[in-house]
Amino acid sequence: MSELNLSEQEIIRRQALEEIRKLGIDPYPAAEYRTNAYAKEILENYSPEKNNYQEVCLAGRLMSRRIMGSASFAELMDSTGKIQIYVKRDEICPGEDKTLYNTVFKKLLDIGDIIGVKGFVFITQMGEITVHVKELTLLCKSLRPLPVVKEKDGKLYDAVTDPEFRYRQRYVDLIVNPHVREVFRKRTLLIQSMRELFNSRGYLEVETPILQPIPGGANARPFITHHNALDIPLYLRIANELYLKRLIVGGYEGVYEFAKDFRNEGMDRMHNPEFTVMEIYIAYKDYNWMMNFTEEIIEKVALDLHGTTEIVYQDRVLNLKPPYRRVPMLDLIKETTGIDIYGMDEAELRKVCDKLGIEHTPAMGKGKLIDAIFSEKCEQLLVQPTFVIDYPVETSPLTKMHRSKPGLTERFELFINCKEIANAYSELNDPVDQMERFREQLRLSEKGDDEAMFIDYDFVRALEYGMPPTSGMGMGIDRLTMIMTNQPSIQDVLFFPQMKPLGQKPKAESPKEDFLKLGIPEEWIDPIKKLGYHTVAMLREVEKPSRLANDLNIYNKKNKLGLAGLSPETVEKWLR
RNA sequence: GAUUCAGUAGCUCAGUCGGUAGAGCACAUCCCUUUUAAGGAUGGGGUCCUGGGUUCGAUUCCCAGCUGGAUCACCA
């Protein structure tokens, strides 16, 4: 990379790097640096009476410096937090040679550099627990200036808040925004908490294919890819349901998977093209049992993360203490609209939609019409955890028919904060019925529903061998994490949310010789490049040489280059 | 995909009713030499997102595009 593209601060840091090397210091040492303490544990456990932590060694990133002559204070941030360090010239340079302090520490180190320190802990006059440094080691020189975020009484100053910057350069976000690190730590704890519960019950964590020849288990548009050796299309999974149920057929009593699923659909603050779902299937259970188990999961996670089931989410308080309300979908519709749609046919449902002002299209079947009414009129009311149960069969092609309510299935969705968090069934295990449901999906597909399911004959074959009565549940881990960490957007709970790639990078540069060949004096080459003409080809496309001459003269003047002014004729000669 | 707001220094942001731009922090030099977001002084740093139009002249006005946010539509 040429220095032309570097900011002044970056150039200064590269020069400092060279100075460090000249002093015989390796700015990127290979050796292990063995630490014996962390910032947080020192701040929590140090006491002057105990006189503990008198030989500590810790490593981290330099986050601020206050230099005052022969002594300095700085902040060191490790994986646990920040602690102040005190660096005194004669301590780190006991002999005559004061280079390490005067030159290396004061001039050549920068905010963002990673260092290791050895010393003892004490309390300053200002009452702050501080590491008195006796030995300082550079572990990694940082070449790019870090945004400097200041903090006072928990309030941030100049905090990096630009979402684009934060998502595209998450590593910087994590460095300067400690609360972001905490969100992701909680995400991991949440998954561990659930895994702990499942393992304690003897359920088996499994892995199933991400590349699937038939994308099944949900209604969604898949990503498609191609396998060269087999010369077949493969789909990135939209769900893993059908594979997990095959494993139940195979004889496992309980299986679960934390799975990345992929759906080729819109992105917004609830949706990312790849997202994480936990799916679990347990033999000999039904959806009633699964509701109890789901309550247990949510309660455990809340307690493990917060020690309480009262969770603040944005401007609301969510009470996650079971039991949660269980309400049949049609009852809820009746409750909010006053209309009992049970047993209505498609035509009648269309009339209801018209009456309620809900848009519908000819492609929408009975199931989708009911779904539209529900989404429009009911979802927004489901702030506190609520199980909506007994969905119409038309939207539930993998669910067992309700044991007593014709036309409905044994399915529930758990809503928290008006969003679907979990989806579960008494699983359909009648292979003949399953085949018929798949055929119905095919009919919907022919009618124009591009999300209708494919027929998975192998799955039907598995059911023909016999699957025990089973209940399965899928839970959106990203959404649950949003609720548990009080984040408004899915992008805030994914380390690297999908972003649109940025446009063209600067194109290849023509070598200096090519510019010289055109008769361009050497001193004008950098200004020309700076104005965006990186190649001679780009110069040839310039239509108004006079304008280029003008721009260059302005650049000359503004940057005080002291070059003689260019005439339009001179510039024209270069170009022709 | 639609509507809308935004994009200016490394970061957070002002500003220019059209004449090539400022602050704080960061950076550099000097003074000070145990500080707590900030000791003092001086200084450097910018394709004002990109392209086109209008204009003698555009970072500013107009149009198009790019990227992001919000809302809506589809979906989990």
Which nucleotide is closest to A146, CA to C1'?
B10
Estimate in Å the CA A549 to C1' B19 gap, whole number: 19
Strand B: which bases are under 7 Å from protein Cβ? 1, 9-13, 20, 24-29, 32-39, 44-47, 50-51, 66-76
Query: Which residue is closest to B50 in terms of CA–C1' distance?
Result: A503
pLDDT band at A553 (very low <50, low <70, confident <90, very high): low
pLDDT of A558 strictly over 60: no
Tell me: the pLDDT tens digits for A524-551?
Answer: 776 666 665 666 666 666 656 666 666 6
The reported pLDDT for the residue numbered A542 is 61
Please give the Cα distance from A93 to A102 (Å, whole number). Answer: 9
Question: What share of chain A in percent tops pLDDT 70?
Answer: 89
The reported pLDDT for the residue numbered A562 is 60
The reported pLDDT for the residue numbered A506 is 41
Task: Report whether A471 contacts A241 (CB < 8 A).
Answer: no
Q: What is the mean pLDDT of residues A409-424?
A: 95
Question: Structure tokens of A318?
Answer: 């969510």
Q: What is the mean pLDDT of residues A211-238?
A: 92
Which nucleotide is closest to A112, CA to C1'?
B26
Tell me: the pLDDT tens digits for A53-76?
Answer: 999 999 999 999 998 888 899 999
Estimate in Å the CA A355 to C1' B2 gap, whole number: 26
HEC readout, A46-98: CCCCCCCCCCEEEEEEEEEEEEECCEEEEEEEECCEEEEEEEEHHHHCCCCCC
Report strand pairing: A211-212 vs A224-227: unpaired
In this predicted structure, which of A64-73, A80-89, A102-111, A444-453 has the lowest mean pLDDT?
A444-453
Question: Structure tokens of A271?
Answer: 């949706």
Task: Tell me how far apart the 2 most distant CA atoms of chain A are, in Å.
Answer: 95
Query: Which residue is closest to B49 in terms of CA–C1' distance?
Result: A503
Estimate in Å the CA A231 to C1' B7 gap, whole number: 45
| Whole-structure pTM value | 0.87
Query: Which residue is closest to B66 in terms of CA–C1' distance?
Result: A503
Task: Report whether A521 contacts A559 (CB < 8 A).
Answer: no
Estimate in Å the CA A530 to C1' B49 gap, whole number: 16
Which nucleotide is closest to A262, CA to C1'?
B76
Task: Report whether A452 contacts A444 (CB < 8 A).
Answer: yes
Residue of A444 and A259 predicted with greater confidence: A259
Q: What is the mean pLDDT of residues A37-51?
A: 93
Place of tokens 């893993």: A240
3-state secondary structure of A116: strand
Which nucleotide is closest to A274, CA to C1'?
B76
Tell me: the pLDDT tens digits for A153-201?
Answer: 777 778 888 899 999 999 999 999 989 999 999 999 999 999 999 999 9
Estimate in Å the CA A509 to C1' B43 gap, whole number: 33
The reported pLDDT for the residue numbered A2 is 44
